[in-house]
Amino acid sequence: MNPETSLEAGRLFAGVKEKATILKKTEVVIAPPFVFMPKGFRKTKKVALGAQDTFWGGTGAATGEVSTLQLKHLGVSHVIIGHSERRFLGESDAMVARKLGAVLADGMTPILCVGEQSRDSHGEYLGMVSKQIADSLANISNKDISQVIIAYEPLWAIGKNATGVIDAHGLHEMTIFIQKTLTTLYGREMAKKVRIIYGGSVDGKNVGELIARGNVTGFLVGRASLAVADFNAILSAVDSV
């Protein structure tokens, strides 16, 4: 629910859009709150428009929800599904699966968020992540899996109260596990086509190491996206690798 005003949101978008015009290798997706989308947030050749969530129904009685058809009409190309904050409010893997299917059906790219709340010495958190992936992708065929982006976002590494920050080695290990899970579900060749990104206290200082050695193709940026200078520093670091 940031920022507070459409004016501030417009300034953020303009600042990032200006930076994006000089990027050579980096795809940028901006996902503003729904209420700001009609206020000048339009996709360009360098900046795609994303949504923070959606509903699985196309039309009908679902007060307060926003459908995939409505998002597509606004020019949205990417939709975040199953974000940790949505899951915290009670969103289940079954709900995530329905949303993901609706996004794909309407020709948009789902960004599926998965990640453990905490880590244990016995590695049981790995089972939690693999179950999230399997259940969330329950209805996704081999034909469609390459259109899905998976965002790994461990809850313990997110936000100002984070208890730790993952390093490139740890991230690399986790992405290998995610790829192994996808291989079990879809086979090695299809699993290799799924892009994996990372979200968890990413900033201009650690992003270079994470993109270079963490085995990810990008990032799901939260807090740092609320300051143009901070977000653009991340873009510069990613584009230089």
Q: Are 200 and 213 in contact (CB under 8 A)?
A: no
Q: Quick one: how many helices (H) and strands (E) in the chain?
A: 9, 7
Distance between start and end Cα atoms, the chain = 31
Determine whether 83 is an active site residue.
Answer: yes
Candidate list 4, 83, 169, 209, residue with the active-site label:
83
Q: Is the dihedral of CA 122, 149, 153, 210 positive or negative?
A: positive
Determine whether 153 is an active site residue.
Answer: yes
Q: Where are the alpha helices (DSSP H) in the chain?
A: 6-20, 68-73, 84-88, 93-105, 124-136, 168-186, 188-191, 207-213, 228-239
Candidate list 18, 73, 116, 153, residue with the active-site label:
153
3-state SS class at 173: helix
Enzyme catalytic residues? 83, 153
